[in-house]
C-alpha cells in the first residue's frame, strides 16, 4: 500500500524533466493499484503527451499480473472498483479519445472498454467515430474495443485489420493479427468470409 506522501511524490515526478523518471512514476502508479487511480486520471490532463499516453495505458493494465501484448484485450482480475471511481475513469478516457495526439487517442480507445458496457451509447458512439480517425492505430484500437464489447461490424473489423497488416509499425502488425484472430474466433465463419470478400472486392486492383 502506497502512503499519501508516496503518491504525492509520484504526482510531482510526473512533471520531472527526465523522461526516465516520468515513465518510472507512471509505472509505479500503475503498480500502486486503486489508491493511485485518481493520480492517473489527473495525469491524463498533463501537458506532456507521453505521460497522457502512459496514464491511459496504466489504466488499461492496472493489474500487477497483466502482461503488455499489443492488440490484446485483457480483463483485469482485481476487485471491482467503486461505481463513482469507474465513472471518473470513464469520463477521463472519454475526453482522451479527443486528444490531439494519436498515441494518446489510441491508448484511450484500448483502455476505455474495461470501464463501460455495450449499452453505453455515448462511448460506443465515440468509438464508432474513432473508426474514421486519420491514424490507423486509433482505428484499430477502436474496432478492437468495439469487438470486445460485442458491437463491432465484421466488415469494419476486417477492413481495419487489413490496413494494419499493410503498416510498417510492428505494434500495428501485431494488433492487426490479433484482430483477425478475434474475428475468426468470435464471429461466424460465414460473416468473416463475407466481410473478407466484400473488402477484397472494394479494393482497387494494383497493376504491377
CA-CA distance, 136 to 164, in Å (whole number)?
A: 7
CB atoms within 10 A of CB 171: 14
Q: Cell digits for 152?
A: 463491432
pLDDT at 44: 95
Full pLDDT tens readout for the chain, 208 residues: 678 899 999 999 998 999 999 989 998 998 888 899 999 999 999 999 999 999 999 998 864 444 443 444 444 445 578 889 999 999 999 999 999 999 999 999 999 998 998 899 999 999 999 999 999 899 989 998 998 888 888 888 888 888 888 878 887 788 788 777 766 655 555 555 555 555 455 545 344 4
* Selection from 97, 95, 192 nearest residue 147 by Cα: 192
How far apart, in Å, do the first and last CA atoms of the chain sit? 62
Residues 6+ apart with CB under 8 A from 53: 101, 103, 104, 107
Residue 179 · residue 143 · CB < 8 Å: yes
What is the CB neighbour count within 10 angstroms for residue 125? 10
The grid cell for 107 is 491508448
Residue 85 makes CB contacts below 8 A (sequence gap 6+) with 34, 37, 38
- In the chain, what are the domains? 4-202 (1.25.10.10)
pLDDT value at residue 109? 96
Q: Is residue 168 packed enough to be buried (19+ CB in 10 Å), middle (13-18) or exposed (0-12)?
A: exposed
- Model pLDDT, residue 30: 87
Amino acid at each position: 500500500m502506497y502512503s499519501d506522501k508516496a503518491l504525492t511524490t509520484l504526482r510531482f515526478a510526473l512533471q520531472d524533466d527526465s523522461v526516465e523518471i516520468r515513465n518510472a512514476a507512471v509505472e509505479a502508479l500503475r503498480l500502486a493499484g486503486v489508491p493511485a487511480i485518481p493520480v492517473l486520471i489527473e495525469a491524463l490532463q498533463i501537458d506532456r503527451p507521453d505521460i497522457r499516453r502512459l496514464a491511459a495505458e496504466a489504466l488499461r493494465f492496472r493489474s500487477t499480473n497483466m502482461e503488455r501484448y499489443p492488440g490484446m484485450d485483457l480483463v483485469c482480475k482485481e476487485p471491482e472498483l467503486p461505481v463513482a471511481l469507474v465513472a471518473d475513469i470513464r469520463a477521463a478516457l472519454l475526453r482522451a479519445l479527443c486528444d490531439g495526439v494519436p498515441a494518446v487517442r489510441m491508448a484511450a480507445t484500448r483502455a476505455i472498454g474495461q470501464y463501460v458496457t455495450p449499452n453505453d451509447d455515448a462511448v460506443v458512439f465515440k468509438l464508432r467515430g474513432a473508426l474514421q480517425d486519420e491514424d490507423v492505430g486509433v482505428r484499430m484500437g477502436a474496432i478492437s474495443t468495439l469487438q470486445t464489447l460485442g458491437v463491432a461490424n465484421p466488415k469494419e473489423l476486417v477492413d481495419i485489420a487489413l490496413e494494419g497488416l499493410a503498416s510498417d509499425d510492428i505494434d500495428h502488425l501485431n494488433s492487426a493479427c490479433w484482430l483477425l484472430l478475434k474475428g475468426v474466433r468470435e464471429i461466424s465463419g460465414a460473416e468473416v468470409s463475407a466481410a473478407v470478400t466484400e473488402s477484397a472486392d472494394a479494393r482497387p486492383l494494383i497493376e504491377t
